[in-house]
Structure 1
Amino acid sequence: MKKLLKKIVQKAGYKISKIETKPALKSFHDKRNHFSTHEALRRSHKRNLIINTVIDVGASDGRWSKDCMNYYPKAAYFLVEAQNDHLEGLKHFEASHKNVSFILAAAGKENGTVYFNNAELFGGVASETPFDTNSIEVPVVSLDSEVAKRNLHPPFLLKLDTHGYEVPILEGSKKVISQANLIIIEAYNFNIEEKSLCFWELCSYMGNLGFRPLEVVDLMAREYDQAFWQMDIFFVKKDNPMFNYIQYR
């Protein structure tokens, strides 16, 4: 039947060809994707990276922390989120888990206030100067001050989903960083804000803090031209023994 159809179509001046389907986008939950946050966290747990407290900055309604609990269920979780629209979700998440606390604020170098662009519910970025549009003023806290006030115990997992505002947050987290076993940062291929770091600059910055990349996951292309846009980088301490083995097999 296929041959007959091809002959008929060819006589009419056309050609039959197979339609190529595009692969589906991978997500946190896609266990088939080796380079996903899901699989990287699973590997971190198998490598015995001990975590007593997870600090989730840019926590939205707690969904990332909820998924992280699959691998570190006994850790304490401290969530930092600047957007008030996530308040109800955070309250529900805290009420549902005894090991969760949160603060509605941005993280930064020191306690005070900062401007925040709240144009997108699951986006947003902080700035020392006001934005032209969608600019609100929110409290800002240093993570070191909050960890001391709340008596949160190391070793830490520090996760930043902060859209270019990483350096001020890291400057206010020196004690946290010194006691962290894992730092996960959403990194970009473009300088998306005036003082933001591209991913190679971020790797150099983290190198000066004593950390190096171990995993890169959840790569994403931008809609505008499909150029490489962002990824999440898993940083561990430079002196981690796994770096002593330099063979492929």
Structure 2
Amino acid sequence: MHVRPRIDQAAKLADVLLTPGGVAAARAGRPFSLSAFRLVSQVRRRFGAPATVVDVGANKGQFSRAAATAFPGCRLVAFEPLEAVAAEWRANLADVPGAEIHVCALGGEDGTVAFHPHEYSLSSSVLPLVAGAGAEGGGGAGELAPVEVPVRRLDDVLADEELRGPVLAKLDVQGYELEVLRGAAGTLRRVDALVVELAFEQHYEGQPLFTDLLGALAESGFALDVPIDVRRDETGTVVEMDGLFLPAR
């Protein structure tokens, strides 16, 4: 009998049941992610409802779905480097009017880059994993063969786009945050709230850590408002968290 997976499933179900609004959100559409639901719930409490959501590192649509559920009528603009994963995003968000996804990585300049996909797709990154590091969420999936993907600057992609405000941007790119920010200076001036994944230890080669990103975001005019969804290792040490950033006063 595989006891541990059943315990994990029971814990996840309890989390959904104990999170206000969790059951309704789980029924609203797929894919459902409790952490993404908590993120958008905190954004709604601290910031309000955005009219436009820019989802950088969209994967299969976990955050996009949570945003579409929490902020009905918002416009979704997503970015995902892997075509196969982007196809799942399209299928999952097909019921959301006007939702669009760009199949590319984002960085500091246009071109191509060797991208490191993973069996557990949430761990895929431009950067290779540090030796011995596990996949995000504790998964044991390993790196697959690198593939070439296009890289665009966010400023170039959105230069001619009307982003109706307020604008919420979410950045979850597994260690490539500084490069994305380097190509997004103009876009950030149009953003009213920003959700960023922050690491306290390196899982990827050259990955910026909490203080690095805090400084870079301060230079871009944003300050940490509140931490959301703090994640700990088996010893209780904080290894990752998502942070809500608002324009510095």
Q: In the alignment, which residue of structure 2 is the partner of 1:175?
A: 186
1:206 is displaced (CA, Å) by: 1.2
How far residue 156 of structure 1 moved from its aligned partner, in angstroms, is 2.0
Determine whether 1:31 maps to 2:19.
yes
TM-score when scaled to structure 1? 0.74
In structure 1, the residue corresponding to 2:41 is in which secondary structure?
Answer: helix
Query: Residue 197 of structure 2 contacts residue 240 of structure 2 at CA under 8 Å; is this kept in 1?
Result: yes
- C-alpha distance after superposition, 1:22-42 (max 9, x if no partner): 994686885259xx6534533
CA RMSD in angstroms, aligned pairs only:
3.0
- Kindly state the Cα deviation for residue 45 of structure 1 after the two structures are TM-superposed: 2.5
- Alpha-carbon distance in structure 1 between the residues aligned to 2:224 and 2:152: 27
Identity of aligned residues (%): 23
User: Which stretch shows the higher mean deviation, 45-54 or 116-125?
Assistant: 45-54
Partners of 1:28 and 1:72 lie apart in 2 by: 19
Which of the two has greater strand per residue?
A: 1
Aligned partners of 1:126, 1:195: CA distance in 2, in Å?
11
Question: Per the alignment, in what secondary structure is the counterpart of residue 126 of structure 1?
Answer: coil
How far residue 158 of structure 1 moved from its aligned partner, in angstroms, is: 1.1
Q: Which residue of 1 aligns with 2:44?
A: 45
Deviation (angstroms), 1:54: 0.7
Other-structure match for 1:61 = 60
Residue type of the alignment partner of 2:98 = N
The alignment partner of 1:95 has SS state of: coil
For 1:138-177, list aligned pairs within 5 A: 138-177=149-188
Amino acid at match of 1:181: D
Report the secondary structure of 1:122's partner residue.
helix
Report the CA distance shift for 1:112/1:154 in structure 2 as closer, same or farther (over 3 A): farther
> What SS does the aligned partner of 1:69 have?
helix
Q: Which residue of 2 aligns with 1:12?
A: none
Q: Which runs of 5+ in 2 are unaligned?
A: 1-6, 22-34, 129-142
1:236 aligns with one of 218, 224, 246: 246
| Structure 1: tracts of 5 or more residues without a match | 1-20, 240-249
Structure 1 distance, partners of 2:63, 2:121, is 15
2:135 equivalent to 1:135:
no
Note if 1:208 corresponds to 2:219: yes
Aligned amino acid, residue 112 of structure 1 = G
Query: Counterparts of 2:238 and 2:19 in 1: how far apart (Å)?
Result: 23
Give the Cα separation in 1 of the matches to 2:110 and 2:53.
Answer: 21
Match of 1:78 in 2: 77
Tell me the residue number matched to 2:97. Answer: 98
2: CA distance between counterparts of 1:218 and 1:200? 18
> Contact 2:112 / 2:148 at 8 angstroms: preserved in 1?
yes
Partner of 2:122: 122
Post-superposition CA distance 1:106-155 (Å, at most 9, x none): 11112221111002322211149xxx962111011111111124443343
